[in-house]
Structure 1
């Protein structure tokens, strides 16, 4: 079972996340030690107690994920949470357990409050990740290699960010030696040792002097005996005759081809990602245009309604009959008409300002989308160009090393030594 935990705050967001309906089934299996009987209120209790301390990450959240095709009962989840609680030093702390079922698989989440209400301080969480990894292995299930050991990740599955980081940082010689020694320790045959090295981008090969070497994508050769730290005879005894292995050039080609293949995959992924992002921005552009049209239509309807209502009010001010005649004589009707014209002008100004504001919002949104689209296209083109340059450099590096190895070895010609008599004038003089 894979156990991954971390300290965190955000009680409200965590409770909302655990109760989201994106899972097929959500069940609050246990709430212990809290006064409340629902997650939102329980986590808020922990937050309220943390206010009396300086602790911001007052919760510890642990996810429990069993391997694929493995059914785990609620009782087993609870037992694992109990053991994790002991390992983490959270015995007696308030906790909650939530079971999620998604795509037919059940996993669990356990959340503890780190605040000790008696001491009014947070429980110290030291080496929690290592403790959870040790507990994960107790079940005896086959664990992912990358989870058992971080260095076991296959470099042929590297991401774009990992590739760029490796380019910047280079290879750490200490880590390289650890890779060779770890591969040697877990291998009992040439096949196993070669597979262990292959997981790190090395190809087992024969050296120029009948020794065993490992070659990386750059054509660098690493002597097995030197990096493992054993004698050459021990290497031969375990790995056998090196003549059956590929040559240095062949191994370099194998390692280069693997990396070049992965770089090609990254280029295609980046091209697809950029295209999807541009399509998404285009959809946003269309949606923005649609919202603008709807807003304009809504404004027109509102303006028409306000105009009708204002016209009715203005017509009601104009009296008819004898009273209307009196208003004409006294000049009151003229003043009423002037007031109506002023109101109409002010209303027209307000409408024009609203139209202008909507248009400005639309233009601003369009410009922002166009800018992001341009940046996305520029970024995608730069990354693809960078990956293409990396591929070309690997190929040129292989050609360069291959051409050097194809040249016949030059024998050092010994020139005859010319003896020359030293004249007396050339002899050094010594002061007495």
Structure 2
């Protein structure tokens, strides 16, 4: 069983367009749970509205599951997977919507869940990848498919025994996957999406960053080597980031470490990267859109979108030229930053500038308990209504419109 997931805000129509993309041979909208909107776009917006009272800015959980060809009962395997998955994560009562995709003789299913309960509690997704892998191993066992290799195989076997599924655990041990070499994905789902969006191959970027690292001996040399390749180094939220030709930031420690591991199997420790870059004064990523005055590098790898001039404007942790001092080895900024008390004067401006949905969530959290209970009851009343198809009427996708059932 192949599964993938991504957590997000659900804003805009990108997710709805992805679910309804016409490149599939067939798209079948599945019956939603706890939602009344007649189309996928409206259902996702409804999920967002139902989640506004939760303490999270990523209330939407989008998943897909794709049974392997060796599983004959595709629909049965999917139904069993979703049942086990919902019990594993406590999603059995959560509203969701979704579609089935049929393409190249294979059928798989997407679902979009709300992670916020009516009480405002946010569902815990800790270790969600390994937990979904455990669900997949159970389905593979029950439907007679071979066990898929996983880097979490030992943790899955332990969890299965804790759940009382010794039968599946014994099958997993007998399959030999616990002793097999741990597979490493070339790209994570998020990295794959970034690569598709930017058009910058991540393997090429890693190779360029590693080459710059190996031909330099200090931070200044690394920065110069990156710029010769049409890249740049900036200060990000979690440390220095390598900025590619599209202006997209990649954490330097992760980029260099992953490149070295793929090149010769030896990972460069993050501490070694931080030590070499300690003391560098870097501009914050986002100043002049993460771009240096680098038109001279336009022909080099990854530099198609580089351009622009130096950034301007001082702020918290920046000097008069807009630069941000890199963190010292103990984690503090050499200039400014939280330890220096910088940025406090801008707190009110940042609060006012938050999106309207974030401000609404904050107001909902401040309501008295009785008001929250009334809101939850009103939402439950909408969910409980029964909906019926309107004869002869469809939406823009050709799907039947629905309306509340009239009770006589």
TM-score (norm 2): 0.39
TM-score (norm 1): 0.37
Q: Which has the larger radius of gyration?
A: 1
Which one has a larger percent helix, Structure 1 or Structure 2? 1
